[in-house]
Amino acid sequence: MSAYALKHGAAMPPPPRKAKLAAPPAKKGPPPKPAETVPPEPSGLGKYASMARAKLNRIIVGEPEREFFSTGDKLIDEIFGIPRKGLFTGGMVELRGDSQAGKSLLGAEVAARCLKLGAIVHWVDVEASWSNEWMGARGLDRENVNLFQPFLGLFTPPVKKGFRKPGIVPNDEDPKINKRNILKMLADPKQRALLLDVMGRIETAEEIIEDVELAMKMAHGEHPDKFQILVVDSVAALVTDEELTTDLSEHTMRTNMALTMLLRQVLKRWMGFLPQYRVYALLLNQIRENPMLKTFDKTYSPGGRPIKFYPQIRLDMSRKTGFLTQNGVTIGIHGRLKTFKNKADGREGRVVAYKLPYRRAGYLEDVKE
């Protein structure tokens, strides 16, 4: 016992407890950021492929999935896509044929069926053959189709030097060529003719392709759940910048190869562009004949080797059977359609007959050879 307890007979009271100091108020600030979640890398890429991407700090979300949509016609789905599945996003198909074989009719038939399914249709009419009445009979409403044509106008030069020839640049600081004065000059028929004659030109193939790509990006941004179809009518009619700005007497081998060089860049880029923006591309093309070819088949498609390599499916139209007639009046076209390349999932050498009335929907039929 302690001395205090021996003297007073009681235990010493415990020392008073020190009061705990209150914690300082927490400083108010922005809420903590949630932990960033990285999407899992798709499996099946291989051990060393995944290690290489991880070392280079590359995040692979996954490749665009191939989506299928049926047009409602089994033969159209089989010829222009994959049997029992239909057309697919990211697909690129070349449809070639002789003059008056029905390429535009069949392209309009496929586009009209996709439009009924809710697709966004882009039509590049380089041949200036679009008719509202004629296409409306096929089921393509002008208000629901994005139409691109080589219009005549005044165009600003590009940022990259040498890609496009300069036209006129509206400049608000210069009162002579600001946009308001240009619009006033275009309203006057005489000044409009003079202005277009001096500084006007038609759109080149490079500019039309830029317009189409931007339109597809914007459409996918507003409607990411819809698929798109692009019809180019036709590849052979595309006028490149090289051809437009060179005099006829100055054409060289480079000028003659301008379309091939353009398609080599565009089609190669579209191999990744089309599946990313859910686009199905149908490229209409012509058939030319070269008697100098040392092969059995003297025909070829304009566009060089790129038009042969990049499309997954290539179709050939031939109107050997003539026209559709009713009471002695021609009401449509019929012929044969042959698949001579199909690396998607179909059969090569498949032959079907097509019947395309002018004023109503067309269809395909099986042919027994």
**Bridge partners for 148 per DSSP:** 124
The pLDDT value recorded for residue 161 is: 38
Return the CATH number at 280: 3.40.50.300
Nearest to 111 by CA among 134, 67, 133, 141: 141
The pLDDT value recorded for residue 164 is: 39
- Rounded mean pLDDT for each run of 10 residues along the chain, 369 residues in total: 57 62 64 58 72 84 82 92 92 93 94 95 94 89 92 62 42 57 82 78 92 96 96 94 84 88 95 94 92 75 93 92 83 91 85 90 80
Domain extent at residue 95: 66-151+203-366
Same domain, 87 and 186: no
Same domain, 138 and 189: no
How many Å separate Cα 103 from the centre of its chain? Answer: 20
Residue 24 lies in a domain: no
Same domain, 85 and 134: yes
The pLDDT value recorded for residue 169 is: 47
SS3 label, residue 183: helix
Number of domains in the chain: 2
Task: Give me 116's structure tokens.
Answer: 């009924």
Residue 27 lies in a domain: no
Give CA–CA dist 115/141, Å, rounded. Answer: 9
Residue after which a domain boundary falls, among 183, 202, 221? 202
* Angle subtended by helix axes 205-222 and 258-276, to nearest 10: 0
Residue after which a domain boundary falls, among 165, 187, 202? 202
